[in-house]
Structure 1
């Protein structure tokens, strides 16, 4: 009996040493999702006289899953200020409750001296924490942002134009558990590998004649990327034995850029392809690349080109870009071109049109 009890005690001791308590840990990480918006007010003098509490606003912009807008009150937000000050606010423009955020408003010095007027909540985060917006329409900003008489004689106003820069940092909290491993994962190099395959021509089975240039490629890759090439090589009326194709109505540099996209899934560097840093040259090439993308069914490339052209709309390119947008059914690009044209009738020589 005693021997048995001794064995039992020993077994318990072994059990306690072979099954130690497991430690665990976790981490709460508070961080901001940041985004910025440039807001330009042209014709500042024409906005005066609206009356206190009346404002003009920027287009809405998205940061951290919420919509925001900048409100500018040329005669001040409050009647008691009697138009002595201009007021500027950042407003929550979408549904949301208790949205916590940090803000920064900068009025840009247009003299080139860099003496911008900056109001930053980011700098005071340690003192007061983020600002909480309770509901749609909640605002953060300044009723007395700038004394109006001082503003109108300053370098912040040039050619009757004000430029503001707004940064919003939406606070997010995420949980991070304890990892039992730390294996560094390199970024994907698939695009680079396929690009090398294109550039070396290794294993190529199709040759394209584009003008005076020759391009070697791979049918399976092209067919996987483009429904047009899939039908041409492997469709019901396609010919899988084709080894040479003549491409008409496409410039060699445009076809090369299109091939690079199909192998890398990235918009090629236009400056590298053309050897030019001219914005006009870049715009013209992207216009032709959009047309090629539409022709060969490359929807992602078409959208990338559309987004790039939206950024580069100016008085020299807006009309050709508008015609391109209409021809290839690019609704957002068309809207941007029309808005630009409507805002710049004098610069485009359309001021007398009715």
Structure 2
């Protein structure tokens, strides 16, 4: 491929694309006019990705080509509502800040039968006619809404062991011939959260105190109001009490509120072992369940998603029923889907139904049983890999989940 005068091509990334990251290898080869970047991810679970919804995607980790970050966006149910989930969509997106970034792209769906019948979508062959594609801003994408018809894909040699392999090539045009910059000044990453978090650690100039389960927690109204619209309305809204200095929090354990405060100041989850004095997956899951409910109560959407992610990663026989009920009650639709698919697996269904958590699920969310039956029927039609989940019992409870819940 010839480059235009005064232009440099920096290119080439290859991605092994599936659903859950297990291993990745990166290789960069420097040449005078080209930066070759190889990214390999081992991810599994095409069937688990189906059903997340039209317009929703799974993103790869960002990779750098030509000084910009890029990512692969895979839409298992398609990107366009008018196609009604009939196609899978695949795009390459500019994942970093940039203006009028000129590039060429190629996406190849690999034939895993070894016959070499790869399906290639390329922009390189049209470069001399129309020139490179211009991405105007961060989030701009190149790709195909109708990358492959889903019904054909699922019966083809492109899908093997519930996995797809996609090769991706990116060529970024450098429209200048400047050499590398000789001088630079290193700028450290932002440490704003550290400074704000130190306010909580020091406990200085606090102006509100919370009483939770027999413990007291001093805090700063302005920080809480900035982080939570619920606290903002309570502390600074029209119905606020100007003389209010103490607030009692009901229906929440002290360790959960402490974790909630930690997130609001530090913007990260606390260390569960340091918080509870226990280091088991079961305790970690229990804390994530309580913290998700607290996050929903105070409209902390990022914290809620972090808890969903934690519960998704640790879904297991003796906790999934309680997690499923929690997901339904707090409108966590992605977590709900993960739990339903886990329970519907033949090797899990009977064991889950014998847990006390399943009894609670029947009583608190009876409508979920109908949805569960639908998923059981789907599993009978399609083979679903359980690679995202563990069917082991989490430490801290037996197969029935019949253990006295500890204080966390």
Normalised to the residue count of structure 1, the TM-score between the two structures is 0.59
Secondary structure, counterpart of 1:271 in structure 2: helix
Shift of 1:219: 0.3
Q: Given the superposition, is the C-alpha separation of residues 342 and 312 from structure 1 closer, same or farther in structure 2, using an over 3 Å criterion? A: same
Q: Given the superposition, is the C-alpha separation of residues 182 and 228 from structure 1 closer, same or farther in structure 2, using an over 3 Å criterion? A: same
- For 1:295 and 1:168, how far apart are their aligned partners in 2? 41
Shift of 1:27: 7.7
Residue 328 of structure 1, aligned match among 322, 330, 342: 330
Secondary structure, counterpart of 1:94 in structure 2: strand
Deviates more, 1:264-273 or 1:254-263: 264-273
The structure with the greater share of residues assigned to strand is 1
What is residue 262 of structure 1 aligned with on the other side? 264
Q: Given the superposition, is the C-alpha separation of residues 242 and 302 from structure 1 closer, same or farther in structure 2, using an over 3 Å criterion? A: same
Q: Given the superposition, is the C-alpha separation of residues 291 and 58 from structure 1 closer, same or farther in structure 2, using an over 3 Å criterion? A: closer
Residue 228 of structure 1, aligned match among 227, 230, 242: 230
Shift of 1:269: 2.6
Shift of 1:275: 2.6
Deviation string 1:282-303 (CA, Å, 9 cap, x unpaired) is 1110000011111111111112
What is residue 171 of structure 1 aligned with on the other side? 169
Q: Given the superposition, is the C-alpha separation of residues 58 and 215 from structure 1 closer, same or farther in structure 2, using an over 3 Å criterion? A: closer
- For 2:172 and 2:281, how far apart are their aligned partners in 1? 42
**Which of 1 and 2 has greater Rg?**
1
- For 2:109 and 2:197, how far apart are their aligned partners in 1? 42
Q: Given the superposition, is the C-alpha separation of residues 280 and 348 from structure 1 closer, same or farther in structure 2, using an over 3 Å criterion? A: same
Aligned length in residues: 251
Matched, 1:345 2:343: no
- For 1:229 and 1:93, how far apart are their aligned partners in 2? 42
Contact 2:207–2:245 (Cα < 8 Å) also in 1 = yes
Q: Which runs of 5+ in 2 are unaligned?
A: 1-5, 11-34, 51-57, 61-70, 77-86, 92-103, 122-143, 355-368, 374-408
Contact 2:107–2:120 (Cα < 8 Å) also in 1 = yes
Alignment of 1:36-51 (within 5 A): 36-39=42-45
Deviation string 1:35-80 (CA, Å, 9 cap, x unpaired) is 43135xxxxxxxxxxxxxxxx96646543324288xxxxxxxxxxx
Shift of 1:132: 7.6
What is residue 128 of structure 1 aligned with on the other side? none
Normalised to the residue count of structure 2, the TM-score between the two structures is 0.52
What is residue 13 of structure 1 aligned with on the other side? none
Alignment of 1:66-77 (within 5 A): 66-67=73-74
Secondary structure, counterpart of 2:311 in structure 1: helix
Residue 275 of structure 1, aligned match among 232, 253, 277: 277
Shift of 1:203: 1.5
